[in-house]
């Protein structure tokens, strides 16, 4: 499911830890809407402004996943309202060169 022009639900819910522990990390519809809002209001405008691809991790975590990784009990990830590790691919390459 595409959340915005350059971001997908799969990208913002992917977790190797969830896979390793056989956990379902699928958010409910309300949390999908939160992720959609996050991408359309924050991530997509940032990507458009910088004009570089952005890779994100951990936009949503199920309660089980959050507990396993030691996340805060009040983490915004539990509601799809946060993102960790924005990797600005092309910008990083330019800075290295």
Provide the β-strand partners of residue 55: 87
Count other Cβ atoms within 10 Å, centred on residue 65.
Answer: 21
Contacts of 73 (CB under 8 A, 6+ apart): none
- Domain limits, the chain: 9-96
Model-level pTM? 0.84
Interatomic CA distance for residues 27 and 38, integer angstroms? 14
Q: Tell me the C-alpha to C-alpha distance, in Å, between residue 26 and each of 21, 65, 86, 88.
A: 14, 11, 21, 26
Q: Which tens digit of pLDDT belongs to each residue from 32-87? A: 999 999 999 998 998 898 888 888 877 899 999 999 999 999 999 999 998 876 66
Question: 82 or 27, which is more confident?
Answer: 27
pLDDT bin (cut points 50, 70, 90) of residue 89 is: low
């Amino acid at each position: 499911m595409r959340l915005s022009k350059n971001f997908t639900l799969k990208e913002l819910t992917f977790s190797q830890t969830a896979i390793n522990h056989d956990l379902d990390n699928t958010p409910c519809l309300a949390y999908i809407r939160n992720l959609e809002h996050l991408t359309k209001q924050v991530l997509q405008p940032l990507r458009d402004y910088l004009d570089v691809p952005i890779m994100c991790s951990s936009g949503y975590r199920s309660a089980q996943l959050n507990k396993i990784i030691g996340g805060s009990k009040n983490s915004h990830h539990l509601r799809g309202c946060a993102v960790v590790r924005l990797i600005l691919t092309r910008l990083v390459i330019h800075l290295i060169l």
